[in-house]
């Protein structure tokens, strides 16, 4: 297979590598302007500060010293972080709330009184002064921040919690820090003079505003992929490792994140060198062109569709789980919409299966009692006693609206198509195993049983949630089918079989597609509006709404053979 681990948009422009060259350039700028180096939370503040300190400015300001005390910040954020092990509440704080007004006023006076060279670094640095400055932004993708959480080498916004459990660090990022940093960055994007790629320690890369926006403008006008990342799981399998050429140092890979723009990176290849930036930047800067006007009106600057892969080949079952209803997630977590999803089977082994929906006429109270008994370690819960275990084969599609009990069984590669809220899984049984950290994973029986839709039994499931496929159109060489999702969900999915060129239209919404069968296909513009784009098996790609019209045909080893794509869009 030719799965591309580093998809990038090619451009030419300004690029500097290594701290020596970057600091040399910064020194030239410092002769005429104040240097302001603002950060995304998670960037290595000590590394960046120490490098810019080599310029020996007359006044060096670290915004960490201007923040409120850690105890004040913990108190200020307590209502959003909560005491829950996994879930918080969406913040309404801004970056300015972190600064101590007295310290900030004193520092501004120091700047005014200083006639020499000034450097200001740290999260929120752009708020300290805007007079005669060169603004550099040290950016970082959330997937890299999560890696640093696991290494206990990253701190949160104004709080050194590097020693905490990863789940607690992630919770603070998801509900509070990342939202604050995204809003802060979005408020001055086009005033940034230079963008600093800090995703790889000791290997920074610097590009200028013109080159950065050249990459953004080229990307938004064509189909593109975000840079995938992969992670092990307690239930993880071996299919992705073997098929996609992943590093052998991990015991397994359970997760393949191939379209999660809030967390993935977007790669620009500047003069042949990869420059990494958060894919979220494209959503912030080009939400209407990317999403479509109607979708932007509904979701704002949020990318609403998520594609990822779950590998259980030679692995195990996922946890027996349920996702909350929209009402529950709004009331308890401050989210606007819930985590609806579906499982599309890209590959299956002989005994692959999916647990989905409850059996007819189960004893609800007995099931709840058995879950609690298993949680106390007294018994082993038996999902097959209460839930449908349905054999799964390649290209089956299981629809999982919020409130539906479910679990992917071992022996499959699942393409998980879901709405973006991605952490709201109420695990009710985890097969008595430990997480990768050697500790039990958090169980949410109380929340789970509160949101279960007990009417989704065997009859309902087989009629509405398993291969609810409707033919749409059939021509010589291709056909289109509607495969979901559930009427309660805002995502529409279509499957296309084709052995020759087939035309697509965005129809007012972004399109997200995965090549579910075939070695490779090529995506082209009938109007020659973008360069031909090659996609390989199991790769997910995004077509911005403003592309409007595109075609897909078998390519290379797939010419003349049947290929299958699965396409998702937002119902409008």
N-term to C-term CA, the chain: 36
| 393 and 476 assigned to the same domain | no
Asked if residues 152 and 163 have their Cβ atoms less than 8 Å apart, the reply is: yes
- Taking the C-alpha atoms of residue 387 and residue 364, their distance in angstroms, rounded to an integer, is 11
Looking at residue 500, which CATH number applies to its domain?
2.60.120.10
| 474 and 454 assigned to the same domain | no
Helix axes 19-30, 45-53, angle to 10 degrees: 60
Q: Is residue 221 part of a domain?
A: no
Q: Is residue 348 part of a domain?
A: yes
Residues spanned by the domain of 325? 317-464
Looking at residue 113, which CATH number applies to its domain?
3.40.50
Instruction: Give the whole-number percent of the chain exceeding pLDDT 70.
Output: 99
Collapsed DSSP state (helix, strand, coil) of residue 244: helix
The neighbouring-strand residues paired with 540 are 514
| 454 and 521 assigned to the same domain | no
pLDDT at 434 (0 to 100): 85
What is the Rg, in whole angstroms, of the alpha carbon atoms belonging to the chain?
Answer: 25
Residue 503 is encoded by which pair of tokens? 């035309």
pLDDT at 436 (0 to 100): 83
- Taking the C-alpha atoms of residue 309 and residue 246, their distance in angstroms, rounded to an integer, is 14
DSSP class of residue 499 equals S
| 397 and 529 assigned to the same domain | no
| 331 and 446 assigned to the same domain | yes
pLDDT at 353 (0 to 100): 97
Sheet holding 540-543, edge to edge: 470-475, 478-484, 491-498, 563-570, 511-517, 540-543
* Pairing assessment for the beta strands 118-122 and 59-62 based on DSSP bridges: parallel
Angle at 197 between CA 196 and CA 202, to 5 degrees: 105
At 284-294, the pLDDT tens digits run 999 999 999 99
Tell the burial category of 518 from Cβ atoms under 10 Å away from its Cβ (0-12, 13-18, 19+). Answer: buried
Q: Is residue 9 part of a domain?
A: no
DSSP letters spanning 374-391: HHTTSS---GGGTEEEEE
| 324 and 391 assigned to the same domain | yes
Q: What is the dihedral of CA 208, 214, 215, 217, to 10 degrees?
A: 140
| 414 and 551 assigned to the same domain | no
| 479 and 401 assigned to the same domain | no
Q: Is residue 231 part of a domain?
A: no
Residue 414's alpha-carbon distances to 19, 165, 231, 364, 467, in angstroms, are 42, 28, 15, 29, 14
pLDDT at 435 (0 to 100): 85
Residue 232 is encoded by which pair of tokens? 């092990």
- Taking the C-alpha atoms of residue 562 and residue 416, their distance in angstroms, rounded to an integer, is 23
- Taking the C-alpha atoms of residue 379 and residue 482, their distance in angstroms, rounded to an integer, is 43
Q: Is residue 157 part of a domain?
A: yes
Boundary (domain end) residue, out of 203, 227, 256: 203
Q: Is residue 3 part of a domain?
A: no
Whole-model pTM: value is 0.95
Q: Is residue 256 part of a domain?
A: no
Total domains present in the chain: 3
Asked if residues 508 and 294 have their Cβ atoms less than 8 Å apart, the reply is: yes
φ, ψ of residue 390 to 5 degrees: the values are: -110, 125
**pLDDT below 70 — which residues of the chain?**
1, 421-422
| 393 and 500 assigned to the same domain | no
Residue matched to tokens 């609206």: 401
| 195 and 99 assigned to the same domain | yes
| 346 and 447 assigned to the same domain | yes
pLDDT at 493 (0 to 100): 97
- Taking the C-alpha atoms of residue 4 and residue 2, their distance in angstroms, rounded to an integer, is 6
Boundary (domain end) residue, out of 464, 479, 494: 464
Q: Is residue 498 part of a domain?
A: yes
pLDDT at 355 (0 to 100): 98
pLDDT at 338 (0 to 100): 80
Residue 416 is encoded by which pair of tokens? 């998980």
pLDDT at 422 (0 to 100): 67
Residues 6+ apart with CB under 8 A from 118: 34, 35, 57, 58, 59, 60, 61, 111
| 40 and 159 assigned to the same domain | yes
Residue 536 is encoded by which pair of tokens? 């390989």
Boundary (domain end) residue, out of 445, 464, 483: 464
Residue 143 is encoded by which pair of tokens? 């997937």
């Amino acid at each position: 297979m030719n799965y591309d681990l580093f998809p990038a948009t090619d451009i030419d422009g300004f690029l500097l590598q290594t701290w020596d060259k970057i600091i040399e350039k910064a020194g030239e700028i410092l002769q005429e302007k104040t240097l302001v180096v603002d950060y995304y939370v998670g960037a290595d503040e000590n590394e960046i500060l120490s490098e810019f300190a080599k310029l020996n400015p007359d006044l060096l300001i670290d915004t960490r010293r201007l923040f409120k005390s850690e105890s004040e910040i913990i108190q200020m954020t307590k209502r959003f972080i909560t005491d829950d092990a996994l879930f918080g509440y969406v913040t309404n704080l801004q970056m300015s709330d972190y600064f101590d007004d007295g310290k900030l006023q004193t520092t501004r006076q120091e700047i005014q009184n200083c006639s020499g060279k000034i450097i200001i670094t740290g999260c929120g640095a752009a708020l300290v002064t805007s007079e005669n400055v060169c603004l550099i932004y040290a950016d970082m993708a959330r997937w890299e921040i999560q890696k640093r959480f696991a290494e206990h080498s990253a701190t949160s916004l104004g709080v050194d919690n590097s020693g905490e459990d990863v789940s607690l660090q992630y919770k603070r990022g998801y509900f509070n820090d990342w939202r604050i940093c995204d809003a802060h960055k979005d408020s001055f994007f086009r005033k940034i003079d230079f963008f600093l790629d800090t995703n790889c320690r000791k290997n920074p890369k610097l590009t200028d505003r013109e080159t950065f926006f050249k990459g953004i403008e080229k990307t938004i006008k064509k189909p593109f992929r975000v840079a995938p990342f992969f992670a092990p799981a307690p239930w993880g399998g071996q299919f992705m490792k073997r098929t996609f050429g992943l590093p052998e140092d991990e015991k397994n890979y359970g997760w393949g994140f191939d379209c999660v723009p809030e967390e993935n990176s977007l790669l620009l290849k500047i003069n042949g060198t990869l420059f990494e930036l958060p894919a979220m930047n494209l959503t912030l800067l080009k939400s209407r062109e990317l999403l479509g006007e109607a979708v932007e009106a509904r979701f704002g600057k949020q990318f609403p569709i998520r594609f990822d892969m779950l590998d259980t080949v030679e692995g195990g079952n996922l946890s027996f789980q349920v996702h909350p209803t929209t009402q529950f997630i709004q009331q308890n977590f401050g989210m606007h919409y819930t985590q609806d999803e579906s499982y599309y089977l890209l590959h299956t082994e002989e005994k692959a299966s999916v647990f989905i929906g409850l059996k007819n006429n189960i004893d609800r109270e007995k099931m709840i009692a058995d879950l609690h008994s298993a949680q106390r370690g007294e018994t082993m819960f038996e999902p097959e006693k209460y839930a449908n275990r349905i054999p799964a084969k390649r290209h089956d599609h299981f629809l999982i609206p919020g409130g539906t009990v479910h679990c992917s069984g071992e022996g499959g590669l699942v393409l998980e198509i879901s709405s973006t809220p991605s952490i709201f899984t109420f695990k009710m049984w985890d097969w008595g195993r430990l997480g990768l950290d050697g500790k039990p994973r958090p169980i949410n029986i109380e929340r789970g049983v509160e949101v279960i839709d007990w009417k989704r039994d065997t009859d309902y499931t087989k009629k509405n949630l398993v291969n609810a496929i409707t033919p749409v159109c059939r021509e010589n060489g291709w056909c289109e089918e509607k495969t979901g999702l559930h009427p309660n969900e805002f995502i529409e999915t279509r499957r296309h079989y084709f052995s020759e060129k087939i035309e697509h239209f965005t129809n007012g919404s972004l399109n997200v597609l995965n090549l579910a069968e075939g070695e490779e296909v090529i995506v082209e513009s009938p109007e020659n509006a973008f360069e031909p784009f090659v996609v390989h098996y199991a790769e997910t790609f995004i077509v911005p709404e403003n592309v409007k019209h595109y075609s897909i045909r078998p390519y290379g080893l797939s010419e003349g053979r049947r290929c299958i794509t699965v396409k998702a869009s937002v119902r409008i």
